[in-house]
Amino acid sequence: MTSDFPSNSSIDLGNSSSAQARITELEGQLEQLRRETKVLRESESQHRTWLEKSPVCTKILDLNFKLQYMSQAGISALCIPDIEEYYQTPYPPEFFSPRFKVTMLEALRKVRDEEVVAHQEAPLKSLNGTLIWFRSTLFPLYDDDGNFESIMVVSTDITPRVKAEEERALLERQLLHAQKLESLGVLAGGIAHDFNNILVGILGNADLALRGLSEDNPSRENIAEIKVASHRAAELSEQMLAYSGKGKFLIESIDLGEFLVEMTHLLDVALSKKVELRLDIADSLPHFAGDPTQIRQVIMNLITNASEAIGEGNGRVTLAAGSMECDQAYLDDGFELLVAGAGHSLDPGSYVYCEVTDSGCGMDAETVSKVFEPFFTTKFTGRGLGMAAVLGIVRGHRGAIKVRSQPKKGTTFRVLFPAGTQVPETVVTPSNVAKPGADWRGSGTVLIADDEDLVCNVGKEMLKHFGFKALQAKDGLEALQVFREHANDITCVLLDLTMPQMDGEQVFLEMRKLRPDVKVILTSGYSMDDLSQRFAGKGLAGFLQKPFNLENLRNVLAPVVG
């Protein structure tokens, strides 16, 4: 600012009165100058204070992009010990990430060349390695004469926002992944259910055909092969049901530590001779309710996959077991957590876990996201459901799986089971009942109710083979009507769980009202474990798992009808 105060040589003191007036005028001008100077200093101080105290990182660069000023917020965020070292040096500094430097230089050139406002958003690492996301606004600065002299860069730390967006995207991927697996599970369960009905017809008719052929009939061998193929198909169907979480479970109380030690000889066979197996099993683990056969399948799958991940070279597989308290944060954390299906959250509390860690090739994130999909494999095709069945078994046990893996750094699968769960009451015919001989025959009338004609037709023939008169119904309402008409004559009812009009459970309860002592054997391709809890204490006589053959039918029917 220029002063209007004249030099001494220009002061005219011609007479005292005019001189005094001139002096008064000059003193007023001087006082005005002092006030304006004070306002400027206060404004500058306020702006400097604002810049220094503001959480916004502010930089001023000359037109050659050399740093002239950086606010304290920027110095602190970037952990710069001595900012003077960076003044008059090209911006951005060398320790900034390549992505940040490239996009920042593009924005600086745009401001310098076009004198416009520009924006930039990118991550960088501070001198201590902390990752920070900044959103910057760049705009030109002008001097008092309107000349473009420098560029101001105002940067805001948006790391919390970026992390929140990443977490939201992660949750969305988790939800989509869970929905995808759940949909596949529903599809697999539905296919397996229908497939089992078809297999009932194949196995039943094959058994009946064999019964009618002489020992030297050449067709026996062909029919025997049909039965072998059908049993293999039934195993695949069982895996599909396991994946859907509706597999066949025979629940017992399991001590996981003892269980794994007993499996050691099987695990040694599954591993390559070049792979070392290490056990790390905690003492006195709490029991949990599970199906030993299914849990064994889970462990064998994990061990086999671990061995294959190591390949032909030397390696190590560690099998660990322990117990832990899981809070909600742990149970909800991570894309790798796969729970008991959509709509079924895990409760915080005590869990026992089995953990398999290998020193193999590892997996990238995309592979991990697909590893539980049916028939997905990184090996050769045609390997069955594999890890998809493992997931289904774990879901059926109300458990979860956590996966940690990185390429060339190995993989860890941790399987969690809720500790202290009770073994459910069963409705299945006790296993200690002596099985009937092959020549067993019965008498009376059996009602077979199933919406599949194939099942009804072969079921009637199988019942006739055992000496029974057979009645049939194709849905729930018809089954109830036939039962009313023949209630006093019916010895037993073979009742399908899933039928149109009325399902098996509704029909069963109505039959019990009409005749409380009625003997009903429920048939289904789904898990008897779920049925055990639904029908416990309601007087169900037994359960017949689909697909079944003559022997299965005889073993369930004989103890019920006597």
Mean pLDDT of 249-260: 85
**Quick check: 118 pLDDT over 90?**
yes
Please list, in sequence order, all residues whose beta carbon lies within 8 angstroms of the beta carbon of residue 543, skipping any fewer than 6 positions away.
427, 428, 429, 521, 522, 523, 524, 528, 531, 556
Contacts of 56 (CB under 8 A, 6+ apart): 71, 73, 154, 155, 156
Other Cβ atoms less than 10 A from the Cβ of 337: the count is 18
Would you state the pLDDT for residue 144? 82
Q: If you average pLDDT over residues 306-316, what whole number do you get?
A: 87
pTM (predicted TM-score): 0.53
pLDDT at position 53 over 70 = no
DSSP string for 163-216: HHHHHHHHHHHHHHHHHHHHHHHHHHHHHHHHHHHHHHHHHHHHHHHHHTS-TT
The string of pLDDT tens digits covering residues 161-179 is 998 888 887 777 766 766 6
How many CB atoms are closer than 10 A to CB 440? 13
Res. 138 pLDDT band, cuts 50 70 90 = very high
Least confident of 182-186, 191-195, 312-316, 449-453: 182-186
Question: In the chain, what percentage of residues exceed pLDDT 70?
Answer: 80
Q: Of 211-215, 225-229, 259-263, where does mean pLDDT reach its minimum? A: 211-215
Report pLDDT for 308: 86
* Reported confidence tier of residue 341, pLDDT bands at 50, 70, 90: very low
Strand spans (E) along 380-478: 400-405, 411-418, 445-449, 469-473
Q: Is the pLDDT of residue 184 over 70?
A: no
pLDDT of 474: 92
Q: Between 554 and 346, where is the model more confident?
A: 554
What is the band of 274 on the pLDDT scale with cuts at 50, 70, 90?
A: confident
Res. 276: pLDDT tops 70: yes
State the pLDDT at residue 379. 60
| pLDDT tens digits along 506-543 | 999 999 999 999 999 998 876 665 566 677 677 888 88
Q: Per-residue pLDDT for 423 more than 70?
A: no
Q: Is the pLDDT of residue 385 over 70?
A: no
Q: What is the dihedral of CA 499, 501, 502, 504, to 10 degrees?
A: -10
Cα gap 480→315, rounded to integer Å: 63
More confident residue, 231 or 68: 68
Distance CA 241, CA 108 (A): 61
pLDDT of 43 strictly over 60: no
Banded model confidence at residue 250, pLDDT cuts 50, 70, 90: low
Task: Give the pLDDT mean for 281-305.
Answer: 88
Which of 309, 320, 300 shows the shortest CA–CA distance to 367? 309
SS3 of residue 238 by DSSP = helix
What's the pLDDT at 336?
A: 46
Residue 376: pLDDT band by 50, 70, 90 thresholds?
A: low
In the predicted structure, residue 399 carries a pLDDT above the cut 60: yes
* Res. 42: pLDDT tops 90: no
pLDDT, residue 265, reads 82
Rounded CA-CA distance 432/435 in Å is 9
3-state secondary structure 44-76: HHHHHHHHHHCCCEEEEEECCCEEEEECHHHHH
**Helix 387-396 with 292-310: angle, nearest 10 deg:** 150
Residue pair 337/402 in contact (Cβ under 8 Å)? The answer is yes
Quick check: helix, strand or coil at residue 289? strand
Please indicate whether residue 243 or residue 367 has the higher confidence score (pLDDT). Answer: 367
Residue 22 pLDDT: 75
How many Å apart are CA 469 and CA 486, to the nearest integer?
12
State the average pLDDT for the chain. 82
Q: Give pLDDT, residue 264.
A: 86
d(CA 264, CA 250): 22
Query: Do 287 and 253 form a contact (C-beta atoms < 8 A)?
Result: yes
